Amino acid sequence: MKIQNKQRNALKKLFCGAAAALLISTAAHADYSSHPGAAAFVKTMVEKHNFDRDWVLAILKQAEPKQSILDAMSRPAESVMTWGRYRNIFIQDSRVTQGVEFWTEHREALARAEKEFGVPASMIVGIIGVETRYGRNTGSYRVVDALATLGFDFPRRATFFLGQLEEYMLMVREQGFEPFSLKGSYAGAMGFGQFIPSSYRAYAVDFDGDGQVDIVNNKVDAIGSVANYFKRHGWRYGQPVVSSAVLKGDVDQSLFNAGLKPEKTLAQLDKAGIGSDRVLEPSQKATAMKLEGEKGDEYWLGLHNFYVITRYNHSAMYAMAAYQLSELIAADMQKVTTP
């Protein structure tokens, strides 16, 4: 198969260059192959997944620690920003205009993804716009460096990121990628839609039929993969995402921001003084949100599809930004396509 040949070639290149690379390595680069946690990781890759031991050690030996990654993990934007500031980062006229351009350029793939997966083209474009500004900013860290740094030097989440490093090695073997060629975010997310390795393996798809799943370089695969992610997490086509909340008198503030998952029905929330500004089925479940906007507090009701967006990134502000960007892009796209 083509992928198997590419895989073999990639492995040959790695081994041929490994010796030279190791000779010129400096003391400034930590050697993760001798890290106290490396032995258990290597054993897993060899015994569980049948990897060559020397191959895994070569990867760990060449992986470089990045203090900037550890610093970034300690200050995620969602924990230090108000909704007003956060929104301004991701929703600007330029990002909306670029979204229309991306949609126009990939109209056929987006229409096909909407039909096959039941996810609106606008939502797919919105996600890619928030994640990477349509591929303009996919990350500058080598994925190997990010995952090794966090897996071996970030104890609080070491188990998770060592698991992602395991998934990454499986992914590059399956897709025939050169292990050090892929770059991404400080958390090891890759491509137009910023999938971590486990999500890449679980949800990314070969949407253009070329025999390789590539969301790093292939926009069509990225479009289909984002749509598949949403479908697999339960997106309900044609259903609303959010509704503005209407407060009726004094409301128990503990009802707001209690969690991302909708737990109370709209009827229950209405009885507690939190109504909807639109007519919705009272039995629908929602989560009540209070967000600090530029002009004061905003009150929202997040419905099932809103929760699905938060499966992509577990943040109410993220989901709101992605949805609002998608709506603005859709509105401008309508202007472009309407005679």
Catalytic sites, residue numbers: 131
Q: For 92, phi and psi rounded to 5 degrees?
A: -135, 165
Joined together, the tokens standing for residue 263 give 């737990």
Separation CA 200–CA 142 (nearest Å): 16
Question: 3-class SS at 149?
Answer: helix
**Burial code of 115-131, b = ≥16 C-beta within 10 A, e = fewer?**
eebebbbbbbbbbbbbb
Q: For 264, phi and psi rounded to 5 degrees?
A: -110, 145
**Residue 304, by phi and psi: left (phi above 0), alpha (psi -120 to 50) or beta?**
alpha
Joined together, the tokens standing for residue 251 give 């409301």
- Among residues 240, 246, 255, 252, which one has the least CA distance to residue 303? 240
Do the Cβ atoms of 183 and 142 come closer than 8 Å?
A: yes
- Other Cβ atoms within 10 Å of 286 Cβ, number: 26
Q: How far apart are the first and last CA of the chain?
A: 48
Q: Is 242 exposed, middle or buried (0-12, 13-18, 19+ CB in 10 A)?
A: buried
Distance (Å) of CA 322 to CA 20, 187, 194, 202: 45, 20, 14, 22
Element (H, E) at 87: helix 83-90
